[in-house]
Structure 1
């Protein structure tokens, strides 16, 4: 197998470590494609530090008579791809292009599976935010948004290479397989739309959560203010009689003490009832 000089240098310098460059490059009669792989990280409960998405890479050098893959990440194994090709002689007859298609199809299918799992996490967060009991959801929402952003960064760069593979005449890609790549591109478009929907929904959930926190804080402030107002009544009356004035006739009156206590109780009850009626208590 002979590569052109540029492709050989790229393989030696970049294929042994993860790449973050453009996912598709062409070197004369050799095509170099980088696929970002993703897998869903299982967790008992979503927290503010939960890892939801793990990423890796599969790099493919494709020529007219060869296909070389380099993998990074434990979830980038291609045993299923090999088994599928062996079970489909018609696809395998299309040459190395069938390997490129099978890898792309398998990775995009994994994108779909990951979005299904993430959808459950989004539903869980949404349900938690709108439950009557208080919960600390803001950190979980931010964490899930970060994980979805990581998923988007893995998925989005693949759109343009798949579009080119499905409609551009490349000498290293068999013409009979262009339709297959169109199908993969359609699936990728669906994944991107789902990810965008998750992000928009989480933004709305976050805004609702912040609004709920503000509302709860306002309710707490009203409740505190109501109790302070009620407590101010006996405090004020006790302060008046605690100044030890000499000329306070009711101090020597037989019914002075019970009347003062009754006044305090009545005023406090009236205030309590008023606050309850207005929803402050």
Structure 2
């Protein structure tokens, strides 16, 4: 069932409308979507948040409301927070963002924070290329409601909502099933980003071991390592919250849904291992590049030294005969000048040949 849901999410993303910006919200302000679900089926009529909650409370068991928001201001979120009785600390975190992944229970409400990631397409990796774009997803889950708050210009949940609505049996499990679908979607994005970064890794590795790689720019390697670190900061801290969701009783998480979080935790572990392997490979690539730079510098120094030795011979001869002493050998000889030039040329050729034979030139 979960595999079918993942395939449905990918299909929905390919044909979905971008609702990532509040200006595109069909409901105005920061509210992107608000719908009532009864026994896994969405009620066709749209209504304001307060009316949706009133209907859900009237319908009772099997009904819940899912409200989606994008970067709400404190004033925009205050009414919703009061309506659903959200804890002020959680509300402050949801509005300000820049939080670490976490799962925090507040009475009968669960507040979850996840980092979202997106691979940024680029023709060629440079020292300033953006590879990973991150955002945040905050989720409030209660007995009869789910509130999602997104930060960042990617990661629209419209396709996920559409895919879930096609899996009525799963959606009938209530808010905890929505929470599982959200975190599963976030972890799948991690896997996609990590797989996409493999191409950049291969390009950097090929460039380092190409001909004249010692003359290359290490900036691309450092940039890719920085982007990988940003991905790691988003992925690694999620392990503990997932363990909590999978193994500990928490508010608004049904015991029937809890085993599904273990499957997500396995996918996260695979992603963490992949990122760790990438990090180690980048360290090896960087060390290889630095070693090649050192070798190239040594080659340059050997060439400079060899030419300095060659030039030293005529410099020495010219220095001696430039002292203008009266009793110097062959000073007044008719062919002395030509002999000196010949000795210097022969000496330089002999030294040059010796350096060439030893690989210095």
- Please indicate the TM-score interval, normalised by the length of the shorter structure: over 0.9
Separation in 1, partners of 2:181, 2:271 = 18
Report what 2:123 is aligned to: 44
Instruction: Give 1:34-183 correspondences, 5 Å limit.
Output: 34-133=113-212, 134-183=214-263
Conserved? CA contact 1:128–1:135, under 8 Å? no
Conserved? CA contact 2:117–2:134, under 8 Å? yes
Which sits farther off after the overlay, 50-59 or 223-232? 50-59
Separation in 1, partners of 2:120, 2:307 = 48
Conserved? CA contact 1:56–1:73, under 8 Å? yes
Separation in 2, partners of 1:200, 1:264 = 55
Q: Which runs of 5+ in 2 are unaligned?
A: 1-52, 54-80
The one of 85, 95, 105 equivalent to 1:26 is 105
Report what 1:192 is aligned to: 272
Is 1:230–2:310 an aligned residue pair?
yes
Which sits farther off after the overlay, 210-219 or 257-266? 257-266
Deviation at 1:258, TM superposition (A): 3.1
Is 1:260–2:344 an aligned residue pair?
no
Conserved? CA contact 2:93–2:99, under 8 Å? no
Give the total of aligned pairs.
281
Deviation at 1:117, TM superposition (A): 1.7
Separation in 2, partners of 1:43, 1:242 = 64
TM-score by length of 2: 0.73
Residues 203/180 of structure 1: CA separation in 2 closer, same or farther (3 Å cut): same
Q: Which runs of 5+ in 1 are unaligned?
A: none
Cα RMSD after superposing both structures: 2.1
Q: Which SS does the other structure have where 2:260 is aligned?
A: helix
Q: Which SS does the other structure have where 1:10 is aligned?
A: helix
Report what 2:20 is aligned to: none
